[in-house]
């Protein structure tokens, strides 16, 4: 089965809606999932970094995956974020996600402990061995403190359940090199570079701004796949101020929740510590970016 069937193409790194006290909001999750499906998202990442995974307990993560699976039905793939710095904990989360009905797993490079590349390979293989689900690796050295090198990705590509990479490293040449030497599918995990990654052969996106505008990402993917880079550029340009506001000011999850609340998609922009609500100046920048997208061209 090809990667687009395993994971989708227009994926969204979904935020986790919360009540004012910090508990996960099931109505908020349902409303957001409905919005994502209605705007063309065909893959939902639940419990990933943008979903504030470091502050979610194992039980909360499993419950979140169950809720997203139940709401999604067969309209999109559900990819559960299960990676931590602890291999045993990651295996537990992977098995919980499989039991909750997830279609696939997102496995981040172990963070904080800074393992060797041999440790990265052993960690990823152990988690991939723990379930029957397909695995998308997540290479994000800015957060993890260690990268998945090209040689590591090539080695892991030999695992029968590792099929894809969410690349937030931003090294396009390395991505093209690994694409040329393996059957791994690449997904852009850095919204600033969605268009270049697609143009270089990425299968799709795992987008943060897709929480609000998955429909624009769907248009972008269609344009690139159709060979119309001129139209793709026109689709991407109005999103640049939003990408800057969300990804380059306060913090992706906080700014995305603020955007969704501003648009009336979720009722509250609550985040858990150590994340905090954005500053007034950042919120003004976000409001301006959202208003610019809403104005017809």
User: Active-site residues: which are they?
Assistant: 138, 166
- For residue 141, count other CB atoms closer than 10 A to its CB: 16
108, β-bridge pairs: 138
- 138, 83 Cβ separation under 8 angstroms: yes
Distances (CA, A) of 95 to 60, 71, 105, 263, 286: 14, 20, 10, 35, 38
Return d(Cα 195, Cα 283) in angstroms, integer.
26
Please give the Cα distance from 114 to 155 (Å, whole number).
19
The burial of 279, by beta-carbon neighbours within 10 Å (0-12 exposed, 13-18 middle, 19 or more buried), is given as: exposed
- 285 in Cβ contact with 249 (< 8 Å): yes
Q: Which three-class secondary structure state does DSSP give residue 296?
A: coil
Return the closest-CA partner of residue 275 out of 247, 246, 255, 292: 255
How many C-beta neighbours within 10 Å does residue 169 have? Answer: 20
8 A C-beta contact, residue 283 and residue 49? no
Using alpha carbons only, what angle is made at residue 53 by residues 52 and 58, rounded to the nearest 5 degrees?
Answer: 135
234 membership: H or E segment, kind and range: helix 229-236
Q: Please choose, from the candidates 124, 140, 48, 60, the residue with its C-alpha nearest in 3D space to the C-alpha of residue 91.
A: 124
């Amino acid at each position: 089965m090809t990667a687009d069937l395993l994971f989708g193409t227009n994926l969204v790194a979904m935020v986790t809606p919360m009540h004012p006290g910090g508990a996960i909001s099931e109505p908020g999750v349902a409303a957001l999932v409905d919005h994502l499906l209605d705007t063309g998202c065909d893959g939902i990442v639940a419990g990933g970094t943008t979903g504030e995974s470091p502050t979610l307990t194992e039980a909360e993560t499993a419950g979140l995956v169950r809720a997203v699976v139940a709401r999604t039905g067969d309209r999109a793939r559900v990819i559960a974020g299960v990676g931590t710095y602890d291999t045993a904990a990651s295996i537990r989360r992977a098995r919980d996600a499989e039991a909750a009905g997830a279609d696939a797993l997102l496995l981040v490079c172990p963070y904080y402990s800074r393992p060797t590349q041999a440790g990265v390979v052993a960690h990823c293989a152990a988690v991939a061995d723990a379930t029957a689900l397909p695995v998308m690796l997540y290479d994000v050295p800015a957060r993890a403190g260690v990268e998945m090198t090209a040689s590591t990705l090539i080695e892991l590509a030999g695992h029968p359940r590792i099929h894809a990479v969410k690349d937030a490293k931003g090294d396009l040449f390395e991505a093209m090199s690994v694409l040329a030497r393996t059957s791994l599918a690449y997904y852009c995990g850095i919204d600033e570079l969605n268009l270049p990654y697609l143009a270089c052969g990425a299968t799709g996106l795992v987008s943060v701004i897709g929480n609000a505008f998955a429909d624009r990402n769907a248009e972008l993917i269609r344009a690139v796949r159709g060979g119309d880079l001129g139209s793709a550029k026109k689709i991407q340009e109005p999103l640049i101020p939003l990408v800057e506001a969300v990804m380059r000011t306060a913090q992706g999850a906080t700014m995305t929740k603020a955007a969704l609340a501003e648009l009336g998609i979720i009722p509250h922009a609550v985040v858990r510590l150590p994340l905090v609500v954005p500053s007034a100046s950042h919120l003004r920048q976000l409001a301006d970016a959202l208003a610019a997208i809403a104005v017809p061209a």
